[in-house]
C-alpha cells in the first residue's frame, strides 16, 4: 500500500514552487518538501510529513521564529525559491509516516553527505532530548540512514554529551525522599577511600532510568526479601551512609538505557558493577 502511494506521489505529482504558497492546500494527505539544485532537474527529498507539519515548517521563517528547523533555515539562507513541495491525498488505509519515508527514492550516498551537516548542526546547537522538534527531525533521518556508520557516530555524540553533563554533576547523599521522580538517567555510586587511602572517590555501581533506580533504592525500606544484591550488601555494611546518587533530567528521550550504560562505562573505564552486560 505504501509503495503504491509513493509511486503515485513520485510519478503522478508535479513539484510546486514554495513561492506559490497559495497553491499548496491544507487538506489531509502526505506532503514532501524537496530542494532543487541550480541547473539540475533532479529534486532531492528533504522531508515527509502530514499537512500541518509541512505547512508549519514552511511558514516558520516568515514569522521569524528562532527555533526554526535547521534544514528549512539552511535552505532559506541559500535561496528559498529552490524549495519545492508536492502532495497526495491521504489514503483510506492510513499508514505510519515511516512506511512512506522508507520507499522514497533517495540516493543514500550523495544525499547523506548534505544531510549529515543538518544532523551535526542539531547535535552541536545544544540540542537535547527536551527539544521535541529536534528529536523528531533526528528520528526521521534515522529511519533513512539507520544503517549508515556516520549517522550512528553522530547519535553517539549526542548520547556522549548527555553522559558528560551527568558525570560532571555533584553527587548527592542518599536520601530517598530527596531523590526526585524526574524522567531521565540516574546513577547510584558508593564513596570510599582509594587504595592509597589518600582521598575519597565515588565508584559507580548502577546506571538506570527513574523507576529502576527508585525501586532499587526503596526496596530496603520495605524489607523486601528479593532486595537487589548491591543495595543489600551496602546496607548491611553501613546502613547506606556511603551511597550517593546523581541524575539528569531528559524528557522525550529516544535513546536506550544500554546506550547510556555503554557510554558511561567508556568514560569511566570500567563497567558498573550491578548493571548486567547485554
Q: What pLDDT score does 264 carry? A: 92
At 79-98, the pLDDT tens digits run 456 677 787 776 665 666 55
Per the model's pLDDT, the better-predicted residue between 202 and 221 turns out to be 202
At 31-52, the pLDDT tens digits run 777 777 666 677 777 667 777 7
Share of the chain above pLDDT 90, in %: 2
**Span 194-204, mean pLDDT?**
67
pTM of the model: 0.45
DSSP string, the chain: -HHHHHHHHHHS---EETT-GGGS--SSEEEEEEEE-TT---EEEEEEEEHHHHHHHHHTTTTT-TT--HHHHHHHHHHGGGEEEEEEEPPSS---HHHHHHTS---HHHHHHHHHHHHHHHHHTT--TT-HHHHHHHHHHHHHHTT-HHHHHHHHHHHHHHHHHHHHSPPEE--GGGS---SEEEEEEEEEE-TTSSSEEEEEEEEEEHHHHHHHHHGGGGT-TT--HHHHHHHHHHTTTTEEEEEEE-SS--S-HHHHHHHHHHHHTS--TTSPP-
Say which range, 5-9, 117-121, 176-180, 205-209, has the weakest mean pLDDT. 117-121
Share of the chain above pLDDT 70, in %: 45
Amino acid at each position: 500500500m505504501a509503495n503504491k502511494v509513493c509511486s503515485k506521489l513520485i510519478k503522478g505529482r508535479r513539484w510546486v514552487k514554495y513561492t506559490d504558497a497559495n497553491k499548496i492546500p491544507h487538506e489531509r494527505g502526505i506532503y514532501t518538501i524537496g530542494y532543487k539544485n541550480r541547473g539540475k532537474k533532479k529534486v532531492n527529498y528533504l522531508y515527509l510529513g502530514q499537512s500541518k507539519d509541512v505547512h508549519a515548517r514552511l511558514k516558520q521563517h516568515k514569522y521569524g521564529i528562532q527555533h526554526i528547523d535547521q534544514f528549512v533555515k539552511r535552505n532559506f539562507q541559500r535561496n528559498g525559491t529552490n524549495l519545492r513541495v508536492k502532495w497526495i491525498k491521504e489514503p483510506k488505509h492510513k499508514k505510519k509516516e515511516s512506511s512512506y519515508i522508507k520507499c522514497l527514492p533517495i540516493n543514500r550516498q550523495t544525499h547523506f553527505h548534505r544531510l549529515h551537516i543538518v544532523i551535526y548542526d542539531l547535535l552541536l546547537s545544544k540540542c537535547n532530548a527536551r527539544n521535541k522538534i529536534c528529536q523528531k527531525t533526528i528520528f526521521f533521518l534515522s529511519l533513512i540512514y539507520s544503517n549508515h556508520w556516520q549517522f550512528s557516530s553522530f547519535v553517539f555524540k549526542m548520547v556522549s554529551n548527555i553522559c558528560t553533563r551527568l558525570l560532571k554533576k555533584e553527587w548527592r547523599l542518599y536520601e530517598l525522599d530527596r531523590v526526585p521522580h524526574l524522567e531521565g538517567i540516574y546513577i547510584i555510586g558508593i564513596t570510599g577511600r582509594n587504595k592509597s587511602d589518600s582521598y575519597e572517590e565515588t565508584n559507580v555501581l548502577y546506571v538506570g532510568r527513574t523507576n529502576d533506580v527508585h525501586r532499587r533504592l526503596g526496596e530496603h525500606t520495605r524489607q523486601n526479601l528479593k532486595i537487589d544484591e548491591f543495595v543489600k550488601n551496602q546496607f548491611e555494611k553501613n546502613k547506606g551512609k556511603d551511597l550517593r546518587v546523581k541524575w539528569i533530567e531528559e524528557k522525550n528521550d529516544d535513546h536506550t538505557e544500554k546506550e547510556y550504560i555503554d557510554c558511561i562505562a567508556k568514560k569511566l573505564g570500567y563497567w558498573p558493577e550491578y548493571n548486567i552486560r547485554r
